[in-house]
Amino acid sequence: MQTIAIIGGGIAGMGAAWLLRDSAEVTLFEGADKLGGHVCTIMDGAQPVDTGFIVANDRNYPCFNRFLDELGVATQPSDMSFGVSIGNGAIEWAGDSPAKLFAQPGLARDPAHWRMIVDILRFNRRAKRMLAADRVPDMALGEFLDHHRFSEAFAARYLLPMAAAIWSTPTAEIRRFPLAAFLHFFDNHGLLDVRDRPQWHTVVGGSHAYVHAVAAMLGDRVRCATPIQRVRRQADGVTVITERGRTLHFDQVIFACHADTTARLLVDAEPLERALLGSFSFQPNRAVLHSDASLMPKRRRVWSSWNYQADRAGISGQRVAVTYWMNRLQSIRGPREYFVSLNPLAEPDPAQVIADIGYSHPVFDRAALAAQKRLHEIQGNGGVWHAGAWCGYGFHEDGLAAATRVAGALGAQAPWPG
Hey, which residues does 255 pair with through a beta bridge? 7, 386
State which residues form the domain around 143.
81-196+293-347
Instruction: Assess if residue 357 is contained within a domain.
Output: no
- Residue-by-residue pLDDT tens, the chain, 418 positions: 999 999 999 999 999 999 999 999 999 999 999 999 999 999 999 999 999 999 999 988 999 999 999 999 999 999 888 899 988 888 999 988 888 989 888 899 999 999 999 999 999 999 999 999 989 999 999 999 999 999 999 998 889 878 887 777 777 788 988 899 899 888 877 788 877 788 999 999 999 999 999 999 999 999 999 999 999 999 999 999 999 999 999 999 999 999 999 999 999 999 999 999 999 999 999 999 999 999 999 999 999 999 988 887 666 667 788 999 999 999 999 899 999 999 998 999 999 999 999 999 998 888 999 999 999 999 999 999 999 999 998 999 999 999 999 999 999 999 998 6
Tell me: do 231 and 260 sit in the same domain.
yes
Tell me: do 165 and 16 sit in the same domain.
no
Instruction: Assess if residue 416 is contained within a domain.
Output: no
Instruction: Assess if residue 37 is contained within a domain.
Output: yes
Tell me: do 264 and 299 sit in the same domain.
no
Residue 140 DSSP one-character state: B
Tell me: do 317 and 217 sit in the same domain.
no
Q: Please say whether the beta carbons of 221 and 29 come within 8 A.
A: no
Torsion angle of the four alpha carbons 57, 60, 62, 63, in this order, in degrees rounded to the nearest 10: -100
Instruction: Assess if residue 288 is contained within a domain.
Output: no
pLDDT value, residue 186: 86
Helices and strands (H, E) in the chain, number of each type: 15, 20
pLDDT value, residue 195: 75
| Predicted TM-score (pTM) of this structure | 0.93
Tell me: do 89 and 186 sit in the same domain.
yes
Instruction: Assess if residue 353 is contained within a domain.
Output: no
Torsion angle of the four alpha carbons 289, 331, 100, 348, in this order, in degrees rounded to the nearest 10: -10
Task: Report the domain count for the chain.
Answer: 2
Rounded CA-CA distance 202/223 in Å is: 28
How many residues would you count in the chain? 418
**DSSP H/E element including 216:** helix 208-218
Tell me: do 86 and 176 sit in the same domain.
yes
Tell me: do 238 and 114 sit in the same domain.
no
Tell me: do 220 and 192 sit in the same domain.
no
Instruction: Assess if residue 89 is contained within a domain.
Output: yes
Tell me: do 176 and 89 sit in the same domain.
yes
Tell me: do 272 and 319 sit in the same domain.
no
Instruction: Assess if residue 352 is contained within a domain.
Output: no
Rounded CA-CA distance 102/359 in Å is: 35
The pairing of strands 237-242 and 228-234 is: antiparallel
Q: Check which CATH number belongs to the domain holding 374 and give it.
A: 3.50.50.60
Tell me: do 275 and 382 sit in the same domain.
yes
Instruction: Assess if residue 285 is contained within a domain.
Output: no
pLDDT value, residue 316: 65
Tell me: do 13 and 160 sit in the same domain.
no
pLDDT value, residue 319: 78
